[in-house]
Chains A and B, each alone.
Chain A
Amino acid sequence: MSQAPQAAQQQAQKSNTYNKSEKTKDIRLTNIQAAKAVADAIRTSLGPRGMDKMIQDAKGQVLITNDGATILKQMDLVHPTAKMLVEISNAQDVEAGDGTTSVVVFAGALLKSCEVLLEKGIHPTTISEGFQFALEYALTALDELKKPVDLADKQQLIECVQTALSSKVVSSNSAQLAPLAVDAVLRIVDPEKPNNVDLKDIKIVKKLGGTIDDTELVEGIVFSNQKASQAAGGPQQIKNAKVALLQFCLSAPKTDVENSIAIKDYTEMDKILKEERKYIIDLVKKIVASGANVLLIQKSILRDAVNDLSLHFLAKKGIMVVKDIEREDVEFISKTLCLVPVAHIDQLTPEKLGTAGLVETVHLNDESKVLRITEVPAQSKALTILVRGSNQLVLDEADRSIHDALCVVRSLVKSKGLIPGGGAPEIHLSLRLTQMANTLTGAKSMCVRAFADALEVIPYTLAENAGLNPINVVTELRNRHLKSQKFAGIGMKKNNIVDDITTEQVVQPILVTRSALSLATECVRMILKIDDLVISAR
């Protein structure tokens, strides 16, 4: 404790003795440097030829990923401005799901150009205004490249997803994963709200084993951890299932108030056992009466969800029992199977049951087993993706990549426009901004030009990561765009510059670029406005 007040006093003295302008300049420069360092750390993972990072966390767990947001999240950064970059990467993840690396790389480049502008003596707020102005112009210029997208045209959507997946470990499987992601999202689009989808309606279930090729889309539910009870030869497959989701337990009664049963002799013990039996038989009878033949039982921490006795009776009646259903999954299950969870045996009525054509325990191509509920009602609006992978690292990365792919499709649902990829939009915007800067005068012109230069970092890095000569590539691209080939970009298939990148099916949703530009600019403007770091008590 004693150090803190001292530090504060020193701080107070400092502000008296230090040359103020020098101090604020220092703070600004360190902020910029810290942010640049973060951007530099992840820029090599940008693009289809980008590399992955291996991260070992504090517990010694290893993680291999290409996803910018994940890398940054795991990096455990301390510097305040570095943390801000992590946040914009997260925001991009939430908003567009893809472009999480680009947003940070671009922010880093913008800050680098700020340094030059600050040295020229331009006031930070002027730079900030200039950037905002440039951003607004860039966003309108971006629309020039926009092609409308038709959600019915699946091929187009699939191409788009393939571009997003091209930089991931799973890129070789993109031909299979892309259609899967497109189908999944299109299936859950609510016709009443055609402009947004809730990705929580797609459940990603990971199961170790097999290869990524075995990943599949299941219109229904897959449980990887919960199994159908095998006690007393319980059924493992049920056709035309009537599914009940129970939120009560099938075991001996237990009261909330602490209780104990006092018995005096052996006969009484017999009586109690009999009573327990009767109690459970009553429950089972009521279940049978309702017509349910598959029971999903919510996990309970207070008492056993089922006991041997109830399992035995249920198995005899040919009812499948799945226990340990997590509370979080309840909503998803009720949505998929169109059922209503039941909290008390007396409320178990036929109309609360859900239907499924087939509930079965499936042996995957290796030893592992999953429980699968398929042929769900047509009005169901939720589905599952079962992800397979040969090891945990691949599995996790596949999960993240599929999430990205789903997000890309969602971005297209949200704002229905496509733009070319491969660095084409950045070069286009950069040129348009430079042209515009020439019509301006004063500091604003400088700022717009700096913004335009910063944009070139994306194609530059793309080329660099692909092992091309970045200077040649960027200048060549500029040249082509000047000749109004506005779709020219870097094609990764042959590692060359392509006249029309869209012919190589490299396209991305407009929302990704739009949000990356706005988020990066917003963050840079905030960092620019900071001139001091105050040590606070809380």
Chain B
Amino acid sequence: MDIVGNVLPQVLKDEATEDKGEMARLQSFVGAIAVADLVKTTLGPKGMDKILKPTGPGQEMTHITVTNDGATILKSMYVENPAAKILIEISKTQDEEVGDGTTTVAVLAGELLREGEKLIQKRIHPQHVIAGWRIARDVALKRLRDISSENDIKSQEFHNDLVKIARTTLSSKLITQDRDYFADLCVKAVLRLKGSSNLDYIQIIKLPGGTIRDSYLDDGFILKKQITIGCKRRIENAKILVANTAMDYDKIKIYGTKVKVNSMDKVAEIEAAEKEKMKNKVDKILKYQPTVFVNRQLIYNYPEQLLADSNITVIEHADFEGMERVAAATGAEILSTFDAPERRDQVLGHCDLIEEIMIGEEKMIKFTGCKKNEACTIVLRGSSIHILDEVDRSIHDVLCVLTTTVKNRRVVWGGGNSEMQMAAACEEEAKKVQGKQALAIEAYARALRQIPTIICDNGGYDSAELIQNFNVELQKGNLTSGLNMNDGTIGDMQELGVKECMRVKEQAVMAASEAAELIMRVDDIVKCAPRKRDRA
């Protein structure tokens, strides 16, 4: 019954809830803004990290994560609010699309909604707000493209651009002090790919011990496995056969197979036959004339010995990932049957040298001079696994941004420059538009300007003054000015060498606007009754 006493028909199931109109909107605003606020302190070179601590029974002792990466934080957060979930989704998408700007996108969407809330309070219909935002977005993106520059992919300038972009991306991460070192390292790795964006060729190995500075780029491919005993530890000009096959007896997989015999000799014969089967398989493999045999599964002692006797170096128990990388790097095919030795040239991989190396306390196998020369390995060292994980994430971000840049080639100035320019463009547009949309366009500009503001705030600088000065510099026509976060002043981004990838910004603006629009349109939230689980 409602307050007046009318009996309402029950439409929804028990336990299902519905929020309508203002309530629904308010709920989504609060959720989205809360999420955005949570991650916004990680933004910028002076941004902070978060500890992620798993909860739940038996989870207390599991690994904690320390990170600055927006996507990682949001991914592991436990939220129920549907709007907050949308923000998490766009951050994930950003991560998959371009790899960086995952915090920016969530924060921008949050700020847009904060502005949107104010507009709604002024009794402007959500549809008008959305219409205004759409105009603003197009104007902003156009400006973004206009201010971006492009260099020829082979030129030295482009190489410099890449290094600068890598430095900018790294500046907000844990390894900011060593950013020059890592920027160089990442650029070298990406340039090896020669335009391909398959990051599988860049392998990252994490080993605790040493300091971050001890990390290095190794040309060639490193497999975290050991060469079997009794084999050669150094193979030059190797022919590699990569396989995924069971090297024990090919067991008949029928449940309860059993043989009945009437003498011990027969048992011995069967045993011999089983051994013979293994030997046959080895013989088949030998027909391919490899010098190195890599198998995903365990290789039993007997076939191992046979192979070793034929002077083949055996690497057993390479996991799926390792095996696939070996295959990709050396240009081998992964085999599980061995009946076509005539195809040997196609299926065998090749590399100039395989040797055992020692990193820290661990022995590993290094493949150098692979057929596909793109492969390389980044060996990360660091004092703890937390640091290594975080460096891994940072390096991954940088690699993603760099490959995106190699594909797109357009770059913009960093230090909040692009956001401020986009905001300026929106404000100019707002003056030309008639109707209520103009208010929404202005709001969009304010939201964009929040990004540099937050970066200032995180550094503990006076954001109000800095942003105003920044704006004045831009109006004066100093189009390369930006935030100098070392001194808390407005500096020349050209001098400081702060550049960013245009594609990352573009994607962030598009995704954030889309998400904000989506949440804005909501006026009704229905939560279904939780599905009952039978507890037997």
Contact = CB atoms under 8 A, between A and B. Distances in A.
Given A125-B45, A341-B230, A536 B387 contact: no
Contact of A94 (B268, B306, B361, B363): B361
B301 interface: yes
B34 A83 contact: no
Contacts, number: 250
Contact of B386 (A7, A87, A347): A87
Contacts of B31: 12
A534 B302 contact: no
B274 interface: yes
A404 to B, nearest CB: 14
B261 A262 contact: yes
B229 A334 contact: yes
A258 B41 contact: no
A199 B362 CA distance: 10
Interface stretch (A178-186, A471-479, A496-504, A517-525): A517-525
A24 interface: yes
A78 B51 CA distance: 13
B384 A261 contact: no
Given A95-B209, A344-B305, A276 B264 contact: yes
A274 to B, nearest CB: 8
A389 B528 CA distance: 68
B209 A91 contact: yes
Interface string B3-15: 0000000000000
A16 B35 CA distance: 10
B24 interface: no
A447 to B, nearest CB: 13
Given A5-B80, A123-B46, A536-B77, A331 B384 contact: no
A259 B259 contact: yes
B258 A258 contact: yes
B264 A529 contact: no
A191 interface: no
Contact of A8 (B80, B360, B385): B80
Given A83-B64, A522-B382, A529-B49, A123 B360 contact: no
Interface string B54-72: 1110001100111010000
Interface stretch (B247-255, B331-339, B397-405): B247-255
Given A90-B208, A534-B38, A261 B262 contact: yes
Given A9-B80, A259-B267, A519-B211, A532 B53 contact: no
Given A80-B51, A275-B263, A341-B305, A5 B268 contact: no
Q: Is the interface of A mostly helix, strand, loop or mixed?
A: helix
B177 interface: yes
B264 A532 contact: no
Contacts of A344: 275, 302, 305
Contact of A87 (B252, B261, B385): B385
Interface in A243-286: 247-248, 252-264, 268, 271-272, 275-276, 279
B367 to A, nearest CB: 19
Interface in A483-525: 515, 518-519, 522-523, 525
A255 B251 contact: no
Contacts of A7: 55, 78
Given A80-B64, A95-B210, A261-B266, 10 more contacts: A9-B81, A80-B51, A84-B386, A91-B384, A248-B302, A254-B267, A340-B230, A344-B302, A344-B305, A534-B76
30 contacts: A8-B80, A15-B37, A16-B37, A20-B37, A80-B51, A90-B208, A91-B209, A94-B208, A94-B360, A123-B459, A193-B358, A196-B358, A252-B267, A254-B271, A257-B270, A260-B259, A260-B261, A261-B266, A271-B263, A331-B229, A341-B229, A341-B230, A343-B300, A343-B304, A343-B306, A344-B302, A347-B309, A519-B211, A530-B50, A532-B51
Interface of A: 4-5, 7-9, 12-13, 15-16, 20, 24, 78, 80-81, 83-84, 87-88, 90-92, 94-95, 123-125, 128-129, 132, 193, 196, 198-200, 247-248, 252-264, 268, 271-272, 275-276, 279, 298, 330-331, 334, 340-344, 347, 515, 518-519, 522-523, 525-526, 529-538
Q: Which 7 A-B pairs have the closest CB atoms?
A: A87-B384, A275-B264, A531-B48, A536-B76, A343-B301, A343-B305, A519-B383
